[in-house]
Amino acid sequence: MVKLLRLSFYTAFFLFMLTLFLPKENIYYFIKNELAARYTLYVTEKNLKEELFGLSVADGEISYDEVDIARFQALDIQVYLFVNTVNLHKIELSSLVANYFPKKIEVISFEYSLLNPLHIVLYANGDFGTANGEYSLKENKIIIRLKASKELEFKYKNTLHYFKKSKDGEYIYDKAL
């Protein structure tokens, strides 16, 4: 029994230290370079700060194929043992994208859990309303449930054509990528 407790303690201590000393900044730059190489999606930042269990990026821009599409105030990456999260805060879309979607997004959150390893859960809130969704890594499929705001329903009707309206008034986007 003592050996089992000691083994459990050493395992928990090792995993805690592994999470604590993980090279978060190197992982961030690796992901940033992969996005640029594979999808021509570029993220530029003014301030990058490594924290105890995560990484904070302040005042950044997102570009696709050298066209600015959004600015964000903060990007927080939290790396824990079983759950990892990425949160984008205070996003303002460029005028090019704002023709199809409301300009301000308060938060976009992505969560990956080892307890559900084949899915990435997402949440978003902004002038468009609220959205909850899930991306299946196994099926390469995304499902988004959107509770649209009045602004989105009246001003951006063309965007909602990609969604199916359910009986309870939500809009559902279901697509295999």
Q: Cα-flanking dihedrals φ and ψ of residue 30, to 5°?
A: -60, -50
- Mind listing the pLDDT tens digit for each residue in 36-59? 998 899 999 989 998 888 899 999
Q: pTM to 2 decimals?
A: 0.86
Tokens describing residue 143:
């499902």
Q: Please check whether residue 102 is in contact with residue 92, taking contact to mean a CB–CB distance below 8 angstroms.
A: no
- Mind listing the pLDDT tens digit for each residue in 123-150? 999 999 999 999 999 999 999 999 999 9
